[in-house]
């Protein structure tokens, strides 16, 4: 039997015996479960590669869990803007602004509990440069959304007894109870940061996304993040994207992604033309990228509401010109005189 490469091992749910909907067949004994693992060719969406000579790959990462036809969830990241320019017109410090859209789509009854995003920037191999510096990220710090409150009531009680001597036997039960009420607040969270490494350089932009633990309805489906870099040279540099997600337990038992390879580094070339798929004037601000308000660029969406989903079954009124003409014949009986 031929040995299988690691890249060809992953969980298959194409067969009718291991669909996501078939979790009811798992034993109710919490200490026992089965995983149907079989070799199958790896999906093309699991490992995003560079084309020969490609200097700007718009898709940073793209992968799914389980079957390609019926995945438990899909994760993706695509560039919306990559602007090369300067930090300001006084210092002429080389700078780059990146805007990426991340998508986290869960299907059927599955959900994604949290996600961790890391963008690491480095100089190309053989370069004497230390690589780009992450100057700003957006969002930065902790942001909460979709807040909910819960009232938790806890009853604390105790019971004691008192007995007399041999002559007089007295047994008195003492019981005291008190209720403690506490209001707790829960929310979905986004935390952004640009930590430094052991050499006091700032090569990384990172974000963590977490669901509302009380509601357990998953993280946001769309997330837009921004990174402002400063550079010491006009040389090409690399972006190493990494997006890790944590699904709910049921999804984790039904799919395995341990053999997913890392995506190829994205080669960014400051000499190339800027990319801007956003409806704004970022390109016109390329020589003053430090003045761009990143807080107005980042965004997130949990879901969209379609307000026109309820419609009348029948038209309430007939349009002019389309009404049917009805001719009524009235017979008049004339009595003979």
Domain that holds residue 287: 30-149+187-301
Which ranges of 93-206 does DSSP label H, i.e. alpha helix?
Answer: none
266, 56 contact by CB (below 8 A): yes
- Residue 73, pLDDT score: 82
Contact residues for 69 (Cβ-Cβ < 8 A; gap 6+): 14
Residue 185 token pair: 């607040």
The span from the CA of 18 to the CA of 11, in Å, is 10
Confidence of residue 206 (pLDDT cuts 50, 70, 90): very high
Whether residue 328 is contained in a domain is answered as no
- Residue 46, pLDDT score: 46
Confidence of residue 179 (pLDDT cuts 50, 70, 90): confident
Helix (H) or strand (E) holding 253: helix 249-254
Whether the predicted model's global pTM rises above the 0.75 cut: no
Whether residue 173 is contained in a domain is answered as no
**Looking at 187-196, 203-212, 258-267, which range is the least confident one?**
258-267
| Number of structural domains found in the chain | 1
* Main-chain dihedrals φ then ψ at residue 289, nearest 5 degrees: -65, -25
Whether residue 94 is contained in a domain is answered as yes
pLDDT in tens, 30-80: 333 333 333 333 333 445 555 555 566 767 777 777 667 777 888 899 999
Helix (H) or strand (E) holding 254: helix 249-254
Whether residue 292 is contained in a domain is answered as yes
DSSP state letter for 286:
G
Whether residue 6 is contained in a domain is answered as no
20, 66 contact by CB (below 8 A): yes
The residue assigned the tokens 């999906």 is 43
70, 20 contact by CB (below 8 A): yes
Whether residue 256 is contained in a domain is answered as yes
Whether residue 70 is contained in a domain is answered as yes
Whether residue 52 is contained in a domain is answered as yes
Higher-pLDDT residue of 3, 154 = 154
Most confident of 46-50, 121-125, 206-210: 206-210
Half-sphere exposure of 144 (CA within 13 A, CB side): 7
| Average pLDDT taken over every residue of the chain | 76
Confidence of residue 11 (pLDDT cuts 50, 70, 90): very low
Helix (H) or strand (E) holding 252: helix 249-254
Q: Please write down the HEC assignment for all residues of 206-249.
A: EEEEECCCCCCCCCCCEEEEEEEEECCCCCCEEEEEEEEEEECH
**Preceding peptide of 139 cis, ω within 30°:** yes
């Amino acid at each position: 039997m031929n040995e299988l490469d690691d890249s060809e091992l992953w969980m298959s749910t194409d067969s009718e015996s291991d669909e996501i909907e078939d979790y009811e067949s798992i034993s109710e004994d919490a200490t026992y479960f089965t995983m149907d693992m079989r070799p199958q060719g790896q999906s093309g969406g699991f490992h995003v590669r560079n084309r020969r000579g490609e200097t700007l790959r718009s898709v940073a990462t793209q992968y799914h869990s389980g079957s390609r036809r019926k995945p438990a969830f899909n994760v993706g990241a695509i560039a919306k803007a990559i602007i090369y320019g300067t930090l300001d017109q006084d210092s002429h410090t080389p700078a780059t602004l990146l805007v990426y859209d991340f998508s986290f789509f869960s299907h059927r009854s599955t959900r994604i509990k949290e996600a961790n995003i890391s963008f690491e920037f480095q100089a190309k191999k053989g370069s004497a440069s230390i690589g780009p510096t992450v100057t700003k990220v957006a969002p930065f710090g902790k942001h909460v959304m979709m807040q909910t409150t819960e009232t938790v009531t806890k009853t604390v009680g105790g019971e004691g007894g008192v007995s007399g001597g041999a002559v007089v036997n007295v047994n008195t039960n003492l019981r005291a109870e008190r209720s403690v009420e506490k209001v707790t607040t829960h929310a979905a969270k986004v935390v952004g940061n640009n930590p430094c490494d052991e050499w006091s350089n700032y090569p990384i932009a990172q974000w963590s996304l977490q669901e509302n633990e009380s509601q357990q309805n998953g993280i946001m489906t769309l997330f837009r993040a921004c990174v402002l870099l400063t550079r010491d040279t006009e040389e090409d540099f690399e972006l190493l994207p990494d997006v890790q997600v944590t699904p709910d337990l049921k999804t984790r038992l039904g799919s395995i992604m341990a053999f997913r390879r890392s995506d190829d580094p994205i080669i960014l070339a400051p000499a190339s033309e800027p990319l801007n798929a956003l409806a704004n004037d970022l390109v016109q601000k390329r020589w003053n990228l430090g003045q761009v308000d990143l807080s107005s660029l980042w965004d997130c969406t949990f879901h969209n509401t379609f307000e026109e989903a309820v419609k009348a079954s029948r038209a309430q009124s007939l349009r002019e010109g389309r009404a049917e003409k009805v001719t009524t014949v009235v017979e008049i009986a004339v009595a003979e005189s």
